[in-house]
């Protein structure tokens, strides 16, 4: 049995909810790969290299001291191929509501069919149950305070990205 798991996401930007799931998953597995994946259905607002750095900084800011976390990117190809490459037999998926489960379940079944990779669903901390990267970006773009949803480094990156677009 593998004790390696992969936690994929676009993390655009990484939220406190994402960091909470990562911290909890890191306690369950000997090795956790947080993987910034390209989602062809979305246009990323931050480059993957920036998102990787924000995850790294965010884990530190959130006080997550897990030395079993690796951060990587997957810009193309199948996620299960990445899992096979690193020896992972589990995918970590956080969910906030039934809508998330409805979206994730078909992918979980296909991932199991393709590569015998199981999906493990972790419920969101109720404190972050309504927080999404899309909501953070929208609130920020309209001048709202997102400090309760993201780390300081993400706030700075959003401000910098916004300033660069002007």
140 among annotated binding-site residues: no
Q: How many domains is the chain built from? A: 1
Q: What range does the domain containing 123 cover?
A: 4-165
CATH number at residue 86: 3.40.50.620
Predicted local confidence at residue 2, as pLDDT: 60
Please tell me whether 27 is known to bind a ligand. Answer: no
How confident is the model at residue 66, as a pLDDT?
A: 81
Top mean-pLDDT range of 25-29, 44-48, 162-166: 25-29
The arithmetic mean of pLDDT across residues 97-116, rounded, is 96
33 is in an annotated binding site: no
Tell whether 97 is in a known binding site: no
Q: Is 59 annotated as a binding residue?
A: no
Look at 38-47, 53-62, 149-158 and tell me which has the smallest mean pLDDT.
38-47
- Of residues 163 and 112, which shows the higher confidence score? 112
Q: Is 42 annotated as a binding residue?
A: yes
93 is in an annotated binding site: yes
Count CB atoms within 10 A of the CB of residue 135: 14
Q: What is the mean pLDDT of the chain?
A: 94
Please give the average per-residue pLDDT across 18-38, as a whole number.
Answer: 96
The reply to whether 104 sits in an annotated binding site is yes
pLDDT classification of 126: cutoffs 50, 70, 90: very high
Q: Is 79 annotated as a binding residue?
A: yes
Backbone φ and ψ of 114, nearest 5°: -75, -40
Q: Above 90 in pLDDT, residue 65?
A: no
Task: Determine if residue 57 is labeled as part of a ligand binding site.
Answer: no
What per-residue confidence (pLDDT) applies to 1? 47
Q: Residue 11 annotated as binding?
A: yes
**Residue 72's pLDDT is what?**
97
């Amino acid at each position: 049995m593998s004790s390696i798991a992969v936690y994929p996401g676009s993390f655009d930007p990484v939220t406190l909810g994402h960091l909470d799931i990562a911290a909890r998953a890191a306690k369950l597995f000997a090795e956790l790969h947080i993987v910034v994946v390209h989602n062809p259905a979305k246009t990323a607002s931050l480059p993957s290299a920036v998102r990787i750095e924000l995850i790294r900084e965010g884990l530190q800011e959130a006080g997550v001291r897990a030395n079993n976390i690796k951060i990587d990117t997957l810009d193309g190809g199948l996620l299960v191929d990445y899992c096979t490459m690193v020896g992972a037999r589990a995918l970590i998926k956080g969910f906030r509501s039934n809508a998330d489960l409805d979206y994730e379940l078909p992918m979980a079944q296909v991932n199991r069919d393709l590569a015998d990779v199981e999906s493990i669903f972790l419920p969101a901390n109720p404190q972050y149950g309504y927080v999404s990267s899309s909501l953070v970006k929208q609130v920020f773009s309209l001048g709202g305070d997102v400090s309760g949803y993201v780390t300081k480094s993400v706030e700075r990156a959003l401000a910098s990205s916004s300033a660069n677009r002007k």
